[in-house]
Amino acid sequence: MLNHLDQIFARIDASAMDVIRLQTELTARVALGPENGGTGEHEKIAYVKTLLEELNPAMLEEIHALDSRVPAGYRPNLIARWGEVSEAPTLWILSHADIVPPGDLSLWQSDPYKVVIEDDRVIGRGVEDNQHGIVSSYLALKAVLDAGVPLTRSVGLAIVADEETGSEFGLVQLLAQRSDLFKKSDWIIVPDSGNETGTMIEVAEKSMLWLKVTVTGRQTHASTPHLGNNSLYGAARLIVALDRIKSRFGKKDPLFSPPVSTFECTKIEANVPNVNTVPGKQVFYVDCRILPLYDVETVMGAIGDIAAKVAQELDLKVEIQVVQRQEATEATSADAPVVKALMRAIMRVTNREARPMGIGGGTFAAFFRRAGYPSAVWCTAPQTAHQPNESCPIPDILSDAKVFAYLFVEE
């Protein structure tokens, strides 16, 4: 067994140039959903499909989610499996193909879609979120198969669409169309979140609530503000008032990092284009990550009460719309087989003790948990996702590949 592992690990250690090549190819195939101004994940999924075909899977299937907003009319989801299917658990590793936009290009040191290598780090949009997972799981399986070491369990890889904007055209459709591929006993790993040491195994997520807040006043010339009602001022007052939510729902849960619910005002939309007009409408957004111990409806009610009070004080109209709402699911047990297996593998490869934790970020593991499939979210990540100059250390990808390879062949 040790000899087999040594062979596999040696192949992975020799794959640094493969990491650069794969990350370069994946980054160049821009996979933005229509909400983010893109045409979908087709080019990237097609490239990954050619990679998986070379590994001779027992099953390879592309599952389409109809979406009239993209030129092809659908969003692609790819799923493949190796080894004999049996009553024993299958080990699934699920990554996502889509990315977020690069944002302000002036904050990037280079073209976001052209990979740059700096100090053993790959830099480019998508290299961590979620190409890290695609590359590490692919290289792990390739190393095992090239070494001629038999898999001790059936292994499945899936690359889905639409994770960044809700998963309606991704994992939701995959589970709706092919839930027969999964068993409740399967080991499901989602390499979409982690910490820099690879010691965090995410087993729980907070409820996610995104709100659009529209403050309506009365537009007028800036020299006669008494004839109008400044919606920007009203929005500012409301943003400050909403800070009270943090103490109202301030309990802590040490399972999570951070251990509290978070409520952050984020995006603000442009109002008037000129300086000398008092705006009559202002729109901003609030991102709430709520500990499972709190009811989302109760939180929404408290936010509504604060908004109503500010609206009354300033004679404004305030409308609150839910942009996205995802209730916290039951956590994966810290004693679940997939969690215990990951802990063993991480210790074997890195000599570090990993522990189960909860996060505020949302991953598509929540859809598995909601359907009754225990799942663990894990990878080694510097947490640069969605940032300018997103990066991923090559040694982390290779180390994660070894963890996956160990799980593929351990008894």
Q: What is the CATH number of the domain that holds 396?
A: 3.40.630.10
Are 315 and 332 in the same domain? no
Are 320 and 380 in the same domain? no
Range of the domain at 200: 2-205+328-409
> Tens digits of per-residue pLDDT, 160-201?
999 999 899 999 999 999 999 999 999 999 999 999 999 999
Distance separating alpha carbons of residues 78 and 97, to the nearest angstrom: 10
Are 364 and 234 in the same domain? no
Torsion of Cα atoms, 26 then 44 then 55 then 337, to 10°: 90
Q: Are 143 and 405 in contact (CB under 8 A)?
A: yes
Are 200 and 346 in the same domain? yes
> Tens digits of per-residue pLDDT, 311-368?
999 999 999 999 999 899 999 999 999 999 999 999 999 999 999 999 988 888 999 9
- Give me the number of domains the chain comprises: 2
Amino acid at 280: G
Distance separating alpha carbons of residues 142 and 19, to the nearest angstrom: 13
Distance separating alpha carbons of residues 114 and 283, to the nearest angstrom: 34
- Catalytic site residue from 98, 128, 162, 390: 98
- CA dist 176 → 63, 161, 169, 179, 180 (Å): 10, 14, 10, 6, 9
Are 53 and 153 in the same domain? yes
Are 103 and 184 in the same domain? yes
- Catalytic site residue from 41, 67, 163, 205: 163
Last residue of a domain, one of 271, 300, 326: 326
Are 128 and 15 in the same domain? yes
Share of the chain above pLDDT 70, in %: 100
Are 322 and 358 in the same domain? no
Are 117 and 191 in the same domain? yes
Are 304 and 342 in the same domain? no
Are 81 and 119 in the same domain? yes
Last residue of a domain, one of 326, 350, 383: 326
Catalytic residue status for 315: no
> Tens digits of per-residue pLDDT, 126-135?
999 999 999 9
> Tens digits of per-residue pLDDT, 232-259?
999 999 999 999 999 999 999 999 989 9
Catalytic residue status for 163: yes
